[in-house]
Amino acid sequence: MKKNFLEKFFPASRVGIIHKEINGICQNNREMLYEYWERFDQLCTSCPHHQISDQLLLQYFYEGLLPIDRSMINVASGGALVEKTHVEARDLISKMAANSQQFGIRADHTPIKVNKMMHSNIETQLSELTSLVRQVPLGQVRQFRE
C-alpha cells in the first residue's frame, strides 16, 4: 500500500526534480537566514522519501549559504559546523534561524564584485560618503564646526 501511494503521488520524475533542487539549493541575496531555512525545510518535506542522509542535507544547506551567514554559523558553532553531529548542527541552525526571524533586520549585505575582489556594501557606502565630503566646499565645512 505504501509503495502504491508513493508511486502515485511521488513518481520517480518528481523525486528526481526535488532531489536536484535540494542538491543545488542556494540562499538568495536578500533572503534572511530563517527564510532560507524554511524554504529548505519545505523542500525536504515536500518529498518524504528523497533518501538523502541528514548529514548530506545539512551539507547542501550549508554550501548554499551566503558567506556572511556561513561565517555566523561557523562562529556560533565554535569554529566549524562540520565538527558538529547532524543533530547538533540542525539544532544550532534552527535556533539561529528562529533568532534571525525574531530579531533580524533585512539589510543589503550583498557582496559587490569589483575587479574580481569582493567588497562589502559598507565599503561602497564609505567610498560614496568620502566622495560627497570631498565635494563640500571648504568654507561650508568651517561653518559646521562653529
CA distances from 68 to 6, 62, 65, 73, 131 (A): 39, 12, 8, 9, 27
Banded pLDDT at 6 (limits 50, 70, 90): low
The three cell numbers of residue 88 are 547538533
Beta strands in the chain (DSSP E): 112-114, 117-119
Is 80 exceeded by the pLDDT of residue 124?
no
Q: What percent of the chain has pLDDT above 70?
A: 62
Q: Would the pLDDT of 144 be above 60? A: no
What sign has the CA pseudo-torsion 121, 126, 131, 137?
Answer: positive
List, for residues 38-87, the tens digit of each pLDDT value.
999 998 888 776 678 888 999 999 999 999 999 999 898 888 887 888 89
CB 77 within 8 A of CB 92: yes
In sequence order, what are the beta bridge partners of 40? none
Is residue 10 pLDDT above 90, yes or no?
A: no
Is the separation of the CB atoms in 15 and 50 below 8 Å? Answer: yes
Lowest mean pLDDT among 5-14, 92-101, 116-125: 116-125
* Other beta carbons less than 10 A from residue 22's beta carbon: 20
Query: pLDDT averaged over the chain?
Result: 76
